[in-house]
Amino acid sequence: MLKKILIANRGEIAVRIVRACAEMNIRSVAIYTEPDRYSLHVKRADEAYYLGEDPLAGYLDPRRIVNLAVETGCDAIHPGYGFLSENSEFARICAERGVTFIGPKSDVIAKMGDKTAARASMIAAGVPVTPGTEGNLADLDEALSVADEIGYPIMLKATSGGGGRGIRRCDNAAELKAQYPRVISEATKAFGSAEVFMEKCIVDPKHIEVQVLADSQGNAIHLYERDCSIQRRNQKLIEIAPSPSLTPEQRNYVGELAVRAAKAVGYENAGTVEFLVTGNEIYFMEMNTRVQVEHTISEQITGVDIVREQIRVASGLPLSYRQEDISYRGFALQFRINAEDPKNNFLPSFGRITRYYAPGGPGVRTDTAIYTGYTIPPYFDSMCLKLIVWALNWEDALDRGARALSDMRVQGVKTTARYYQEILQDPDFRSGEFNTSFVPNHPELQNYSEKRDPSEIALAIAAAIAAHAGV
């Protein structure tokens, strides 16, 4: 078993990994840059090391991180998600230096990170993919020719893309001509590669992803699916497990496809296979070769500690479970509480948390790195916490989510919490029949009224009295 793990990340996922290490009697090592000096992951880890004033450079330097792991006696690195988590060079350097990378092998990361290579692997494995190019597009003329062949609308995608970037929908040739150079530019800036490919755009699908776990002994299982259709501009907002609309036959089929995909590429550790679902048609979209932000809801419905399994597998141990051991119970929802103002086109709202109160009660979990007095820096993702709720049936899960959102207090910045309460009351959402068009098709949900908590009013009055008394 691993003895000491360096966590090459920050925020709530770093705290999540620290907790898993503590339960497994493994020493945890945090890294941080200047904006994270007072972050919770730094306070909670057994050791913490400073990487300089630049907010991002330290988190994105694979050799420096691996060298630090060696110097501090770490036998493994957990990359979390984002940053270097899907960087094949990072995994390769770890292997060169004899440090265990808690994730798949470098060549698998490279293959699945290249969207055209991933498509080819899935086709060979008999996993259905959307119609599109089998390789990268050579130029705009080829793009126009392929689009005419498969029919509009189409999606232009960066081959090395991810996180919703490097993607454009084109409904006709004029849009394709305009968007082609933009995708190339965005792909080059964001991913260092100008390669793009094309897929048929599946209009208004459900976005379904399957959590998989695989070990070095050839065992692979799935933990059922998550519905990630509630998203804005390809960024997920609310995730649900399992999907409230899949039939048992679809659920079993998509789970089997995900395991087949993992085995086809020799996958090890935790990963997620993403699909687009429309009617009875299911298409492979991509594979995320890391733990996902929304792994929490798969844990809630199955009882499997995914991060613990990641560490066990990286230690060379077999999975703790066989597929027949896995069942799911109830429904879980995860709300990404972002420091954004939905009423102002989701403008980021970074700043100091003047008050934070985490909701509790049965079936409620929060994963976060914020606290009262913490300042959310403007250099990173705007997500400040994840609120997870579980209940035995769909209606109760919705009601529990509404109650937990109402209980929660994050003051000092604007958040998406109030917006999510509106979504929970919408009949289309409550029916479970929503798809990826839900958010753009319901702009009225952003027109909620601002309700001030009585405690906020009391604090404002007290501050005014104190200010007046001091004059």
Catalytic center residues: 290
**What sign results for the dihedral spanned by CA atoms 434, 437, 439, 441?**
negative
Q: Please give the single-letter amino acid code of residue 110.
A: A
- Residue of 464, 449, 459 lying closest to 355 (CA atoms): 459
**How far apart, in Å, are the Cα atoms of 353 and each of 300, 349, 371, 375, 384?**
28, 11, 7, 6, 10
| Distant-in-sequence, close-in-space partners of 102: CB < 8 Å, separation ≥ 6 | 5, 76, 77, 78, 79, 269, 310, 311, 314
Burial of 464 (0-12, 13-18, 19+ CB in 10 A): exposed
> What does the alpha-carbon distance between residue 351 and residue 412 come to, in Å, rounded to a whole number?
7
Q: Take residue 312 and report the two structure tokens written for it.
A: 């066990």
For residues 199 and 285, give the distance between their C-alpha atoms in angstroms, rounded to a whole number: 10
**If you write DSSP's letter for every residue of 151-198 in order, what string do you get?**
-SSEEEEEEEEETTEEEEEESSHHHHHHHHHHHHHHHHHHHS---EEE
- Looking at residue 129, the DSSP 8-state letter turns out to be B
Tell me how far apart the alpha carbons of residues 20 and 60 are, in angstroms, rounded to a whole number. Answer: 24
